[in-house]
Amino acid sequence: MLGGDTAALHRLDARQLADSALRYYYLSARLGYVDTSDYYPVRQLEAFRQQPCNPSFVPFDSHPRGAFLPPDYLANLKANWMTRFDVKYCDVLDRSESVAKSIGKQLAGLQEDPLFGAELPEGSEAYRFTWLRPSLPPLMVRVESNGFQHQLCWKLGTNIDHYRDACQLSDSGSRLLTDGEWDEVKALMTEARLDSLENHIERSFHDDARWFVEHLDGSRFKALYLTNPPESLITACLYLVRLTGEKIPLWY
């Protein structure tokens, strides 16, 4: 009996915390303070309470027009996220949104367009690698193919604090790739399992390089953000850098 009573008290405490949290979020919504990191915890709490959301709560726009990434994209949400009560989605979503905004800011500064939400003609695809390294200018390498012609474009930003400030374009170039070079890009990205890897957005205690890779195949989009990528992905990304033909430092 004692064990049963204790468990019931724990459930009651959790229910009260959930109710209190929901009241806070609903108040925030009425005051206009709701953002991305609020949306998922609210849905999570509703699942815990087994009660629907208050109609006054308006969720955020999960696919904003013109965004380089949706704010929740890097959170690695699973199909059962709503009932994963062990995950603190406030922290996960806040970090995801922060990184997505930071990446978008750098790519916009490099005068790039979003691949997310874009659609290429049938048989066309593109890879884009954005490399953010401490004390070095941001670098972007994009390769595109329409099945007949393959082109590489690279852009270098200004050497600034790219974790806080948007860079500006300082240098750029382009060249055509041979069929063999494009085939090697495809082979290395396939070997790196780009389309099956998960994002890693944990905070780091040391100043790591950030590796951001995107793949657009027709309308299918995949993006990957890592601070400690597997060797196979490092090999694929550094191959793109070498293809520029520029003397770009490869240390990270």
Sheet with 125-132: strands ordered across:
169-177, 150-157, 139-145, 125-132, 210-217, 220-226
Q: Does 111 lie in the same domain as 54?
A: no
Q: Does residue 193 lie within any of the structural domains?
A: yes
Residues 37 and 122 in one domain: no
pTM score of the predicted model:
0.78
DSSP string of 75-139? G---TTGGG-TTS-HHHHHHHHHHHHHHHHHHHHHTT----TT--PPTT-EEEEEEEE-TTS--E
115 and 229 fall within a common domain: yes
Indicate whether 153 and 236 sit together in one domain: yes
Q: Do the domain assignments include residue 226?
A: yes
How far is Cα 16 from Cα 225, in angstroms, rounded to an integer?
37
The pLDDT value recorded for residue 198 is 82
> Could you tell me if residue 183 is inside a domain?
yes
Q: How many residues belong to the chain?
A: 252
Residues 20 and 140 occupy one common structural domain: no
Same-domain check for residues 147 and 54: no
Domain of residue 11: give its range.
Answer: 1-58
* Residue 150 within any structural domain of the chain: yes
Q: How many domains does the chain have?
A: 2
Within 8 A by CB and 6+ apart from 188, the residues are 232, 235, 236, 239
164 and 223 part of one domain: yes
Claim to verify: residue 123 and residue 180 sit in the same structural domain: yes
Residue 193: the pLDDT is 92
Domain of 237, CATH number, reads: 3.30.1560
Find the radius of gyration of the CA atoms of the chain: 22
Torsion of CA 216, 78, 191, 209, to 10 degrees: 80
- Given this model, what pLDDT does residue 29 score? 55
Is residue 7 one of the residues assigned to a domain? yes
Same domain, 111 and 50: no
pLDDT in tens, the chain (252 residues): 334 444 443 444 555 555 555 555 555 555 555 555 556 666 666 776 676 665 455 555 556 667 898 887 888 777 777 677 666 666 777 788 888 888 999 999 999 999 998 889 989 999 999 999 887 889 999 999 999 999 999 999 987 665 567 788 999 999 999 999 999 999 999 999 988 888 776 555 445 788 999 999 998 999 999 888 899 999 999 999 999 998 887 776
In this structure, the answer to whether residues 127 and 39 fall within a common structural domain is: no
167 is a domain residue: yes
**180 shares its domain with 116:** yes
Distance of alpha carbon 140 from alpha carbon 197, whole angstroms? 21
Residue 114 lies in a domain: yes
First to last CA, the chain: 59
Tell me: do 152 and 51 sit in the same domain: no
Residue 214 is assigned to a structural domain of this protein = yes
